[in-house]
Structure 1
Amino acid sequence: MMEWFRQLGRAIRNLARIARTNPIWAITALVVSPVALIRHLFGVLVLFLITALVLGLGVPLILGKLLGLPRDSNIYQIVMMLTGLVIFLVTLRALFQPLILRYGGPAGDDTHGSARFATDRETKPLAQNGDGLLIGRDRKSGKLLRYAGPSHLLTIAPTRTGKGVGTIIPNLLDYPGSVICIDPKGENARITARHRGVTTRK
């Protein structure tokens, strides 16, 4: 648990550092994030109520009815305090875990920028996109993942591992807009030119 608190402190420091160096980003994030924040807080509230209900009713029942401990006994009081502490820590972890996942990396460790593996929550909307660039397939559901946002995309893999047939060619066949494709060998053009010409894509 102490490690989690260290990660939380690191995440808060990283977030503060980013906000100081890029205040426009911080203001934009505050403007566009209320809906996501409200949804997250609602989920935390539901978790708190369920945890408090289960432990708040279950622990006294076990202590009083099954073990026969009186309410004023030291053991009863200690166990109830520990129960309250567990409820508090569970709620605290649920409240701040997204912050740790997003900003909890070591400060100053920008070898790969902000790159990291996506979480299930982040890939779920990609599996529901009907348009955008094809970037892969969800390992659990098998659904295609499509990205329609403004960020840059980079695919790195050794030669002959499926970059062309798995990503480049499907996107050239499917993407509705114009495309500039650096294609020294002309392979992608030969395969996709006829289809893109028929569909008036260039």
Structure 2
Amino acid sequence: MLLHLNGILKENGAVKIFGKSVNGKNLKSIRRMVGMVFQDPDDQLFCPTVYDDVVFGPINMGMNDKEAKERVTEVLGRIGLSGFEKRSAHHMSAGEKKRAAIATVLSMEPKILVFDEPTSNLDPKMRRVLIDLIKSFPETKIIVSHDLPIALELCQRIIILEKGRIVEDGSVKDILGKREMLERYEIDPIYNCQFCDMLKS
């Protein structure tokens, strides 16, 4: 689903972003509006240094060196990685890599931030840091995750997909309150019961 949002996969039907169809003539502008953060930051960080990774997008958008450098400084400060400009992603922790990957997307100032399993492979402390960071972003956020606790903290709406089709769509409270439905789609029953109790309180 995520790969349809910026035209990486061709749509079967109609996909629109802010009223624009995701097709050849609109792809360039749409890809500026939709920033995708992959589940594995190693798929997103490919340059020798963090600075090179984060500046890559702005330079390719046509910014001059001075503007791009200022953008990198601002974005790294925003995500708590000031001073990491010369670091190599290969020598960073999983949490630092996740934030660096987010920085590569933020540097292009998208209107929509798309996260694929943002809390995967993180220890509890870094998981909390990342959730708080995502919560601070004013941009529209689309999150794909099996981590139900972050849905309560970060989401207003939940969509459940089965075989690429929408089977449930509603508010967090409505969706997570449907115990039998969650079990039918094999969502963790332990979390299920916890959430039902939390939603009642």
TM-score normalized with structure 1 length? 0.25
Q: Which has the higher strand share?
A: 2
Q: Which has the higher helix share?
A: 1
TM-score normalized with structure 2 length? 0.26
* Structure with max Cα Rg: 1
